[in-house]
Amino acid sequence: MKDVKLLDCTLRDGGFVNDWNFGHGNIINLLERSVSAGIDYIEVGFIDSKVEFNKDRSITPDTDGMNRIFEGVEKESSKLIGMIDYGTVPLENVCDAKECILDGIRVMIKKKTRKEAVEFCRRLKAKGYLVFAQPVSITGYSDEEMRELTKDVNDSGLFAMSIVDTYGLLDRSSLLHYFNIMNEGLEKQVHIGYHAHNNFQLAYSNSISLIEETGEERPLLIDGSAFGMGKSAGNCPLELLTMYANTHLGKNYDTNQILEMIDTCIRNIYAVSPWGYQMQYYLCASNDCHPKYSQYLMKKKTLSVRSINEILGMIEPKERLAYNEEYIEGLYLEYQKNDINDSAARDRLSGELSDKKVLIVGPGKSLIKKRKEIDTYIKTKTPVIMTINSDFEGIRSEYLFLSNSKRYMQLSSSLENLRKNGMKVIATSNVTSAKGDFDDVIDYSSLIDEECSIPDNSLPMLLRLLSELGVKKIALAGFDGYSSEARVNYYNEDMEYDFAHNYALELNEYTAKVIKDLKDKGTEITFVTESEYEQN
């Protein structure tokens, strides 16, 4: 009979979803149901000296916090486990095992500090704990480095060592490759664990493959969480693992208790902060990189999925697994530049616009509320009308300024008809046409301000361009300015940028400054509708 045991990491890995703020009642409920289900090992949370004790959170500064949270609970046959990210907890924050509710501690081991982390594991073992070595981002280890780590685990007498697929990168073949290295190098009594993430929807199938390929001589420990709750794409669903184990391994886990965990607690959290397979997690996994890279690029809402995928593919190997926001912003700007010679386009546009009054129509809610005033302005002043990255029903635009690939893709179905009706498209060089050529293409890098937090804000870009083309009179309608309140910045909520409310004040101040600078240089800029840019 194969020696396979299950570990429930809901209260620890699941805590990445809700900042470990389950509430004390839910923490106890989840633990007691996992115990009643007969789960072998239950990971009850993080120990991290930087946090303050709060009985409502499954993360505490020391083992005393674990004792206080779980005081009086009945563990029955289950063993309770805590986790420490090496370097976040001094040894004095960990009491001896005989004084602690915890039976064991899992230690997150990063490759660059693995020697020191294993020594920390050895000292935890001396305190009487079952100690699990958790080498995170295992795909960053070479075969030789992994063999060296297995030797250190043996020498330290640790209880278990896990295959920790932090970013869900492993397929069946690569998973078994790492398993075979560990299986050959570790002493027979050492458990091999597997902690999966579901970026490729392989967490469950990989777990089953590992169980089926493991011989009876190697004890195996498989991680799961209720409903797959966990960081990024989530973990292997614990209810699936118990079902499989009962059917194929002769186990007797009470799956109904896991379902009750989901029904009484987990579904409420999922409704607010869902996890699971998503495009952003697929993109990062397919490019072997940290999930925050794809999240950062997707939040910009300026790129197509194809473009995001191409940028992620540009990340250097040494930067892939440790998130670096400055680095990814640099790649983004480099990708967008696509420098071109736009002198002919600028000469042509200058000839068409330099002696005209231009009305730029924006996407603010005032476009609806002040529609009569806008229509009156258009009728009496007869300006050249421009829109930015969108088409506004009922206002016939003569020019569309495109600086955003994402917006272009959303417009593509209607753009051909608009162009047939006489509208011209001015696109920046980062936007690639799906069919035919744009009327005019302007060098993207000449219009952005790399010193600004949002360097490619479309209105300042267009204002700069018009000023450089010699346009002296510009009117703005529907540019209300940004609000810190979510989903109020656009007349069409689907156009909202996720980042906008975080940068509202800065965006308003920056755009107002661009307008003031242009005014000081002789450009007349007026507001048809009220705007935060006018008040700053």
Question: How many C-beta neighbours within 10 Å does residue 78 have?
Answer: 21
DSSP result, 243-276: HHHHHHS-----HHHHHHHIIIIIHHHHHHS--S
Number of domains in the chain: 3
Is the same domain home to 106 and 236?
yes
Are 53 and 170 within one domain? yes
Per-residue pLDDT band at 494 (split at 50, 70, 90): very low
The domain boundary, picked from 272, 287, 305, lies at 272
The answer to whether residues 224 and 265 belong to one domain is: yes
Q: Note the pLDDT tens digit of each residue in 373-412.
A: 999 999 999 999 999 888 777 788 899 999 887 777 777 6
Is residue 120 classed as helix, strand or coil in its secondary structure? helix
pLDDT at 270: 95
Higher pLDDT, 374 or 499: 374
Kindly state whether residues 267 and 320 are assigned to the same domain: no
Decide: pTM greater than 0.85: no
Q: Do 182 and 300 belong together in one domain?
A: no
Average of per-residue pLDDT values in the chain? 90
User: What pLDDT shows up at residue 253?
Assistant: 98
Q: Do both 206 and 147 map to the same domain? A: yes
pLDDT value, residue 33: 96
Angle between helices 279-286 and 291-300 (to 10 degrees): 130
Which of 337, 369, 387 is the last residue before a domain boundary? 337
Average pLDDT estimate for 73-92: 97
Asked whether the beta carbons of 402 and 443 are under 8 A apart, the reply is no
User: What CATH number does residue 370 fall under?
Assistant: 3.90.1480
- Same domain? For 265 and 139 the reply is yes
Tokens of 429: 């060089």
Question: Is 492's pLDDT higher than 60?
Answer: no
Question: What is residue 95's predicted lDDT score, i.e. its pLDDT?
Answer: 97
Which domain does 466 fall in, by range? 343-535
Asked whether residue 215 falls in the same domain as residue 199, the answer is yes
Instruction: State whether 10 and 151 are in the same domain.
Output: yes
- Residue 386's pLDDT is 93
Sheet containing 424-428, strands listed edge to edge, beginning at the edge strand earlier in sequence = 440-442, 424-428, 399-402, 384-388, 357-361, 473-477, 524-527
Which has the closest alpha carbon to 130: 101, 155, 106? 106
pLDDT of residue 421: 82
Average the pLDDT over each of 245-249, 403-407, 485-489 and give the range with the smallest value: 485-489
Across residues 461-479, what is the average pLDDT? Answer: 93
Run of H or E including 108:
strand 104-109
Q: Are residues 288 and 268 in the same domain?
A: no
Q: Is the same domain home to 243 and 289? A: no
Provide the percentage of residues in the chain whose pLDDT is more than 70: 94
pLDDT value for 486: 47
Q: For 425-458, how does the pLDDT look when each residue is reduced to its tens digit (9 = 90+)?
A: 999 988 888 777 889 999 888 888 877 777 778 8
Residue 183 has pLDDT above 50, yes or no: yes
Which residue type is seen at 254?
A: D
Q: What digits encode the pLDDT tens for the residues 295-348? A: 888 877 677 787 889 899 999 988 988 899 999 999 988 887 766 789 999 999
Assess whether 309 and 406 both reside in one domain.
Answer: no
Among candidate residues 310, 337, 364, the one where a domain is terminated = 337
Q: The CATH number of the domain where 108 resides is what?
A: 3.20.20.70
Mention every residue, 6+ apart, whose C-beta is less than 8 A from residue 317: none
